[in-house]
Amino acid sequence: MAITYQFNKIAMQQLRAQLKMRQIALPVLKSKEAALRVTIQKQKDELKELKVQLQNRLNALRKDVGLWAEFPLEIFELKNVEVGVKKVAGVKTPLLQNLEYGIAYFSRFAGPNWLAFGIVELQQLTELLSQVEVAEKRVSILEYSLKKTTQKVNLYEKVQIPEYNDALLRIKRYLEDVDNLEKSAQKITKSKQAAEAAGVGAA
């Protein structure tokens, strides 16, 4: 949306204040944009590593698929996923803090001897799955923030700052033209008055 203004000194002062605000904000926004790009790449690398770890663990578990068919699902439950907030490059992002498991009583003698090992495996698997999910959310939030920051950088740099500069130049030229016209009018008036005075003196 194009800026609206009047051709006077008050409007000029207001436009200068708006321009100055954007000129100060632009380098800060550019720094944030650069920091977000670096941070997103780092977070994507970490996410990729987590996915590799998850895939390796799933591949390992598939080797014992026969045993897992015997696992009593009712004894293991992921009860709660505690997610906190961490600022990354000035943006609030989710951070996995704690996982709460519910493990029902089972007989270590009556059940399969690998049951305790299976529970540990499930705990590690659910932790990895949760880390991947939170990391994906974190990347998504950071990418959205980068998009909004880039839009604002472009808005300030390519649209608003040039518009404000152009508006100030137009007002300045207008005021100069008005001033020149007033001075010219004053000169003409003085010339007329001097001519009239000279005519009266001659009479």
Residue 21 has pLDDT above 90, yes or no: yes
pTM (2 d.p.): 0.79
What's the CATH number where 140 sits?
1.10.287.3240
Whether residue 179 is contained in a domain is answered as no
Mean pLDDT of the chain: 89
**Residues 84/95, Cβ–Cβ less than 8 Å:** yes
Whether residue 176 is contained in a domain is answered as no
Whether residue 2 is contained in a domain is answered as no
Domain count, the chain: 1
pLDDT band of residue 9 (cuts 50, 70, 90) is very high
Nearest CA to 88 out of 147, 151, 35, 148 is that of: 35
**Residue range of the domain that includes 139:** 9-167
Q: Is 82 helix (H, G, I), strand (E, B) or coil?
A: strand
Whether residue 140 is contained in a domain is answered as yes
Please, what sign has the CA dihedral across residues 113, 115, 118, 120? negative
